Amino acid sequence: MLKRAAGHIHFVLWSFAGLVLLGWLLGQVAWVLVIGMGAYIIWSLVQSLRLHRWLYDWHKDRDVPESYGMWGDLFDGLHQVEHENKRIQEILRSMIERIRSSTNALKDGVIMTDAAGHMDWWNESAGRLFGFQRDKDQGQLITNLIRAPSFSHYFEEKNYAEPMEISAPKNVAQRLRFEMTLFGEDERLILIQDVSRLHRLEQMRRDFVSNVSHEMRTPLTVIRGYLEALQDSEEIPPKWKRPMRTMMQQTQRLEALIKDLMLLEKYETEEVHRQEQLVDVSKLLHSICHDAQVLSAERAHQIRLDCQHKGHLRGLESQLRSAFSNLVFNAVKYTPAQGSIEVHWWVDEQGAHLSVRDNGCGFDPVHIPRLTERFYRVDPSRDNSTGGSGLGLAIVKHVLINHGATLEIHSEVNAGSEFICHFPASRFILAEEAVQAVS
Ligand code: ADP
């Protein structure tokens, strides 16, 4: 490149020398120089005009002009850049085309929206599921096109850790699952799956559990009633007292199990955002810690409550009470007498947090990933004595999902455990803000 530039400088110098020589021969050095330079300036002006025209009329797809010398090199360089750009554009276009045709071939729906929620693009399946029309719906707000309130709520909340489901707008028997991902500057990629079959199976399972629970409640109440009456009776020989106490304990366990099964089933279907209240967390935790002290009774645990931030959590009090008390009561159950239990509630930029820490028996951290599964127990033989249903942490998990929160668990054998609930900042309202919100 440098060689070519030096060649151009040589050419200009030689031309200048030539003009001087010609002028000297004609005896008119000044005039020949003026005419020569003038001609060069006019030619350069013409070339720059051609360049200008090409640059600003580029959309007419005109070829780069041709020329000589320095201008020729400049135009050649531009020609090469343009050629390379066209090649890259072609590659990108064919890539986009391939992505489009492959996503169009997908059975699942795909929608892309911009940061404000306007429809940017969707594949054919999404178009079929929701009846979108390219000419009418392109650029429309997605929440205007998919009008289910739970969808709008999920879309706006930007907490996409768990998928959400709604019935298809065009066919209520069809169940659709939405999974959203934020990318770029708050743009969203939305995947929609038809989960009608799974939903039907899930519904069958729920109905089965619900029916069995209801059917078992009445016989159990009758059995417990008779057992209570018999236990108090003087006619029962003393050797029957012990077996009857065991029968009573097992009946109570079964009742607790059924109560928790029904609770879990209720929480799975309850739509929290429809009945949200402002829950006074400090008051709730005081009452739970008081109940925990009663549960501890002569085991005399040291239960300490540290509630740094007074305020309200947007959610369902019944669900939050059940989740928090499961964590605190578990700490009582799995911590030996006189052990210490610390309940700590605090708020920071990330959100609101509840930690329940004990110095009890703890467990091996390998169990953590499965701990919130129904009926999962670290040590089944040990837990039978605690009278737990094995559903406590499954209930906690469901309540937290319903409130857009997550659960963090730490534990060490014989050192203790810590369960931390993390609520998004948007759910916490400081005490004085809550007064404004209520009034
Ligand atoms: P359960 O009714 O058996 O307590 P949960 O779902 O509440 O059922 O808890 C599941 C298992 O997790 C328990 O069986 C127990 O092994 C373990 N676990 C829960 N909380 C604690 C804790 N604070 N300390 C030690 N182990 C715990």
**CA gap 43, 53 in Å, rounded:** 15
pLDDT digits (tens, 9 = 90+) for 207-231: 898 899 989 989 999 999 999 988 8
What mean pLDDT is predicted for residues 144-171? 88
Q: How confident is the model at residue 437 (pLDDT cuts 50, 70, 90)?
A: very low
Q: What is the rounded average pLDDT for all residues in the chain?
A: 88
Q: Whose CA is nearest to atom 26 of ligand 1?
A: 362
Cα(294) to ligand 1 centroid in Å equals 19
User: For residue 217, what are the CA distances in angstroms to 115, 164, 224, 245, 275?
Assistant: 51, 32, 11, 20, 28
Cα(298) to ligand 1 centroid in Å equals 21
Cβ atoms within 10 Å of 290's Cβ, excluding its own: 12
Residue 386: is its pLDDT beyond 80? Answer: no
Residue 157: is its pLDDT beyond 50? Answer: yes
30's enclosing H/E stretch is helix 29-56
Return the pLDDT at 384. 56
Q: In this predicted model, which residue has the larger pLDDT, 268 or 417? A: 417
Cα(377) to ligand 1 centroid in Å equals 7
Q: Give the position, in ligand 1's atom list, of the atom nearest the Cα of 360.
A: 24
Whether this prediction's pTM lies above 0.75 is answered by no
Q: How confident is the model at residue 314 (pLDDT cuts 50, 70, 90)?
A: very high
Return the pLDDT at 439. 41
Cβ atoms within 10 Å of 438's Cβ, excluding its own: 9
